[in-house]
Structure 1
Amino acid sequence: MNPLHAQTIASPQNPRVKEWAGLLDKKNRERSGRFLIEGVHLVMEALKAGAQLDAVVFDTERGWPSELTPWTKDVPNLEIFAASPAVMAKCSDTDTVPPVFAIAAKPAVEPASLYRDGALVVVLDGLRDPGNVGTIIRSADAVGADAVVIGGGSVDLYNPKTVRSTMGSLFHLPVLQADLKELLPEAKQRGIRLVGTSLQADNSCFDHDWTGSTWLLLGNESNGISAELSSLTDANVWIPMRGQAESLNVAMAATVLLHEAMRQRYYA
């Protein structure tokens, strides 16, 4: 669609705007199966990945982001709107309102990627911080992991803060939300090794063999993996540290562990 012919919306009270702004709340995201993508980079990554977008909305004062033109011109049924700054502000929870946002459908993720022979999957148990979850998804994307699974008690994957913190990696690999109490026993039955972290572990992450089918379990920022799920792990590892830092936060730890897994799989 030519943005010069975009529909214009000036009033924050417009029914469309109220619907879009409603996606800032989890209950409306769950009811509609839609979520917000904010900023030029994220919208472009979604378009490149073929995500299902219903609408792209840009700020009339800042103009159409020309970087998006090659990616929007052939997208079927995509609506483009030019909106006033007041509309843009109503549909964002950031201090600095982005120049463009999009409405996307939550993707349907097939679980087949979880069980691929040799799969590397990251499993999150009760992570509450959107920045941590987003960073872990980026790290999983960076090492070529097969999927990320987000368990109950974790922050909503489609929370705008979580979506922003993935920096587009949300669209690069399967990310799904699931009941870990059902999923982990099934993984074990399929011969997948469940690996957790513990300061009392016998093996460092550099001694552990990451080359087989492995699911890496990462727990809550304060309490770690729940006792029930921890009892299911086949192995636990620790991350060696030579300095005086007490610990790494969960996103940093995930990055170290995932890169060691990648090193063993592709660079050993």
Structure 2
Amino acid sequence: MKNISSIQNSYIKKLIKLQEKSRERKKKKLFIVEGKREISLILKSNYKIKTVLCVDESIEANQDILSALSKEVDTIEITKEVYHKLAYRESTEGIIAVVETIDFSLSDLKFRTENPLVMIMEGIEKPGNIGAMLRTADAANVDAVLIANPKTDMFNPNIIRSSVGCIFTNQIATDSSENIIKFLKEKNINIYSATLQNSNEYFKEDYTKASAIVVGTEATGLTEIWRQESTQNINIPMQGEIDSMNVSVACAIVVFEAKRQRNFIN
């Protein structure tokens, strides 16, 4: 196992750039993941780990991860000082992985059933909201998460952190709204767009057939194309003073109504 003890090390400086700059992640096709839980999820996914860095005092505690790595993965022992320079948050078990990015292509999607349940978010910018919805997607075991008109680098550390690693457990694709709508129609997937215009209450719809739940930004909602091309627009009736809720919460409510209907039938 190699050893790095200085934060001035050239390789560590490159990793800091990966952590901080989306442009660097896209250029190198690499990103940083910290934490035992997250790296454990990577080992079960189709992502490829290039390097693992582990604090000298944490090697024994992370031996299960280190033992599961393929022989091609470089392992580096680092000091606490180096770790805290790289780590995005505090308690993540002293282990960090450098991982290759993947392409989120629509053409790579493979549905497990003939009536998939798909989650779609259009133009969501806040990493925390994206991460929360990826977490919901995993909890509901949806067939795919599609990001329409993406505004944020999917390998942003905040997305990985807020999704608690669920970016690695979900089948994800990104594309334009137009291309995603075309894809859904070719697959005969019903589109349910969350919007106030010309909408029905969400619980009155039937999601037991192939369905896509679509949500947009809290500020402007979905673009016109989703309202026009949807099978049915849906809304969540508000009973208080405000007229909307956090997009990740709204998405979870509708997705789990779809799961309730499907579980009841199955």
SS at match of 2:179: helix
Report which stretch shifted further, 237-246 or 216-225. 237-246
2:148 and 2:195 map into 1 onto residues whose CA distance is: 20
Report which stretch shifted further, 44-53 or 17-26. 44-53
Q: Contact 1:125/1:225 (CA < 8 Å) preserved in 2?
A: yes
Task: Tell me how large the CA RMSD over aligned residues is.
Answer: 2.2
Report which stretch shifted further, 114-123 or 16-25. 114-123
C-alpha displacement of 1:198: 1.9
C-alpha displacement of 1:46: 1.7
C-alpha displacement of 1:79: 1.8
For residue 98 of structure 2, the aligned residue among 99, 103, 110 is 103
SS at match of 1:113: coil
C-alpha displacement of 1:119: 1.1
1:158 and 1:65 map into 2 onto residues whose CA distance is: 28
Q: Contact 1:89/1:97 (CA < 8 Å) preserved in 2?
A: no
Are 1:120 and 2:117 counterparts? yes
Q: Contact 2:109/2:171 (CA < 8 Å) preserved in 1?
A: no
Gaps of 5+ in 2: none
Q: Contact 1:47/1:72 (CA < 8 Å) preserved in 2?
A: no
C-alpha displacement of 1:31: 1.5
**Alpha-carbon deviations, 1:207-260, whole Å to 9, x = none?**
111111112211112111122333222211111344444321100001101100
C-alpha displacement of 1:114: 5.5
TM-score by structure 2 length? 0.88
Are 1:73 and 2:67 counterparts? yes
2:171 and 2:264 map into 1 onto residues whose CA distance is: 24
Q: Which amino acid aligns with 1:105?
A: E
> Alpha carbons of 1:161 and 1:9: their partners in 2 closer, same or farther (altered >3 Å)?
same
Q: Contact 2:227/2:233 (CA < 8 Å) preserved in 1?
A: no
Q: Which amino acid aligns with 2:28?
A: S
Q: Percent identity?
A: 24
1:189 and 1:63 map into 2 onto residues whose CA distance is: 50
Q: Contact 2:193/2:226 (CA < 8 Å) preserved in 1?
A: no
Q: Contact 2:150/2:175 (CA < 8 Å) preserved in 1?
A: no
For residue 84 of structure 2, the aligned residue among 86, 89, 108 is 89
* Count of residues paired in the alignment: 260
Counterpart residue number, 2:33: 37
Are 1:207 and 2:204 counterparts? yes
Q: Which amino acid aligns with 1:263?
A: R
Q: Contact 1:218/1:224 (CA < 8 Å) preserved in 2?
A: yes
Are 1:252 and 2:246 counterparts? no
> Alpha carbons of 1:210 and 1:35: their partners in 2 closer, same or farther (altered >3 Å)?
same
